[in-house]
A and B are shown apart, each in its own frame.
Chain A
Amino acid sequence: MKQFRSISAPACPLGLPNVDTDQLIPARFMQTPRDQGYGRFLLHDLRRDSSGALDAAFALNDPRYADSGVLIAGSNFGCGSSREAAVYVLADSGIRCVIAPRFGDIFASNAAKNGLLAAVVTDADLAALMSDKDVREGSNVDVDLESQTIRTTLLTVAFDIRPDRKQRLLNGWSDVDMTLSHRDAIEAFQAKDRIARPWAQTPVLRG
């Protein structure tokens, strides 16, 4: 898994609440194999007008934010489906951190498995960041995971993250390796469970 420790990059002020996973990547692109890259699908329909041209007023299309590594979003970012592709589109666009007052739960856990930091801030801090001078100008914003802080020239904001997700991001270990180090415990569970709950361990479809 990909590690995350810190980043210093422009932060794009998106701000919208309830940006769902269907916005992050419309379903029609999800047949694409990952190795073809997902960056081009990021917020595909939301950042375009009805003729299909990029909407110049949309923050992500602004040249100031072309190299954003951070996205500042509204509440409930990544709500909706479990599609991990909603994280791929961000990661493949070079976004390493999304800041919001709340995240869709499955999105946040998918993020941690792909080296993307989902940083939870208060509504007041979100508003302050949205109007911060560095953010507005597209200057670098510093995000540090160990200390859980976001810094601009004028602001220092603390963010929240669940400890398990923080550890995953900091150490970048493979979950599967970690799990398989508990192989004996898993075997023992199965052996005991086969007797305790036969219906659970050996499903048979009759008829």
Chain B
Amino acid sequence: MTTNSSPRTIVDKIWEAHAIVVEDDESLLWVDRHYVHEGSHHAFAQLAHTGAQAARPDLTFGFADHYIPTREASGRDGVRMVDLLKKNTAAHGICNFGAGDERQGIAHVVAPELGLTLPGLVIVCGDSHTSTNGALGSFAFGIGASEVAHVLQTQTIWQSRPLRMLIRIDGVLQDGVTAKDLAVHLVGRLGADFAVGYAIEYAGDAVRSLSIEGRMTLCNMSIEMGSRLGIVGPDDRLFAWLEGRPGVPSGDEFSKAVESWRSLASDPGADFDQVVCLDAREVEPCVTWGVSPEHVVPLSGCAPDPAKMKDELRAAAAREALAYMGLEPGDRMTDLEIDCVFIGSCTNGRIEDLRAAATVLRGRRAKVSGIVSPGSMQVRRQAEAEGLDRVFLEAGLEWVGAGCSLCVGMNGDLLREGERCASTTNRNFRGRQGKGSRTHLVSPAVAAASALTGRLTDPRDPSEGR
């Protein structure tokens, strides 16, 4: 049992500050922010069934992201779901950032940029990438529909305390290696189920020197290792990033809040159930070859050979993954011809991601088609103010609305069967981008460089794409 005087991790501190009822196996936690989206319709239906009302609509926010059409070709099928969210949120007096709202966008992009997400908060959303918000020092995790219904009705959630994992990344990332490469590298190295049951705290110089956007990319993919949440201790870089955002307190209130946020950081000597250390210099631009986010090789590498795998079940899975992806063992990743690129999503749809892609694309033409979808309308406006939309359009890519778009294809943006996509998203599951689609997870710079050559391409290679 941890007492208040012994060193505690940030996870312990937030947990203990939110535990209303503590029982043997689980605690009832207060929820500070609840984000809902079109997919939350199952939960609203549960409330409608019993006539229950939302307990704290003022702490609940709606986001039209999964189904919202992002371009003409998306079709209008998603509109019904966007309307349903509008109706459901209105019925409970919940503020909704719907179609046409200048704050519309992907929940995990919009909530941080509006300052709804703050350090030390417990945040839930019926979406597994809620972990993104942990970059701001919040305890943020995805939940299922029954839990969404429960939070709507009580503003609380039953949870059993996660184990604590520290992933410390020391050193500096090589030039041209991004937070996305780091995230994908970690999943590849540790495995898709490595952190099930753990809350991950990311620390070390390499994490500290990431921008807040980069930290969000890193925390975003925690769930790809099985962890419901990733978190980075708040620091001055974060406080500066937060100041002035619409939902962040101002003036004296801000100073008071910062003082309290500062004390959240894990105490020196705090205990973790597992510690993983990594040298940032080992990380290279990474790409997935298969159908699990753990199917990772360096971009300079090759598809693996299942015959060399010890575990028979894994080898069988790898054989099926290679067949699905249309690959042979030993195929060089940079020889792989792609049909299109997708730049966007809650992993890489922030301004810094679009800048990275635009830097590679500026003044050049893409050889394949592609969609660039900003994570929010605010990111879209910012990108247009910087002229990035021109860069994408002149390269021959589509510049579309804000939403999940081709990350999951719920809005009708889909690949055709067998199409191969270099995608800045977080999941390369079979059929994720459409039935029979083939997804290679990459960073925005790699997606952009690949668009120029029509092959998976390292943007650092000066001979490519000129």
Contacts and interface: CB of A to CB of B under 8 A. Distances in A.
A45 interface: yes
Contact of A197 (B33, B260, B410, B417): B260
A38 B180 CA distance: 35
Which of B155, B257, B432: most chain A CB closer than 10 A?
A: B432
Interface residues of B, number: 75
B215 interface: no
A138 B126 CA distance: 37
Interface residues of A, number: 63
Interface in A1-54: 15-18, 20, 22-23, 26-28, 30-31, 33-34, 45-46, 50
Contact of A18 (B24, B95, B192, B228): B192
Contacts of B30: 186, 189-190, 193
A17 B432 contact: no
Contacts of B298: none
Contacts, number: 181
B144 A26 contact: no
Contacts of A17: 313-314, 317
Contacts of B193: 18, 75-76, 79, 102
Interface in B47-74: 52, 58-59, 67
A175 B409 CA distance: 33
Contacts of A201: 32, 59
Contacts of B80: 31
Interface in B408-431: 408-410, 417, 427, 429-431
Contacts of B431: 22-23, 26, 45
Given A79-B192, A175-B146, A205-B246, A186 B156 contact: yes
Contacts of A207: 246
A18 B196 CA distance: 13
B102 to A, nearest CB: 11
A159 interface: no
Nearest to B47: A176
Contacts of A176: 52, 149-150, 153-154
Interface string A52-74: 00000000000000000000001
Contacts of B156: 179, 186
Interface string A174-197: 011011101001100110010001
Most chain B CB inside 10 Å of its own CB: which residue of A84, A110, A200: A200
A5 to B, nearest CB: 19
A81 B116 CA distance: 23
Contacts of A22: 427, 429-432
B306 interface: no
A37 to B, nearest CB: 14
Contacts of B127: 81-82
Contacts of A15: 313
A85 interface: yes
B197 interface: yes
A199 B160 contact: no
A167 B45 contact: no
Contacts of A80: 128, 223, 427, 429
B25 A167 contact: yes
Interface string A74-109: 111001111111010000000000000011111001
Interface stretch (B247-255, B369-377, B440-448, B455-463): B247-255
29 contacts: A15-B313, A18-B317, A20-B292, A20-B429, A22-B431, A30-B39, A76-B192, A79-B226, A80-B128, A82-B127, A85-B145, A87-B144, A104-B196, A106-B142, A106-B143, A109-B144, A110-B146, A163-B25, A175-B158, A176-B150, A179-B28, A179-B150, A179-B153, A189-B30, A199-B249, A199-B253, A199-B257, A203-B247, A206-B247
Interface of B: 20-21, 24-26, 28, 30, 32-33, 39, 41-42, 45, 52, 58-59, 67, 80-81, 95, 114, 116, 118, 120-121, 126-128, 142-147, 149-150, 153-156, 158, 160, 192-193, 196-197, 223, 226-228, 246-250, 253, 257, 260, 292, 294, 313-314, 316-317, 408-410, 417, 427, 429-432, 435-436
Given A33-B41, A113-B147, 9 more contacts: A15-B313, A17-B314, A87-B144, A163-B25, A176-B153, A186-B156, A203-B59, A203-B247, A204-B247
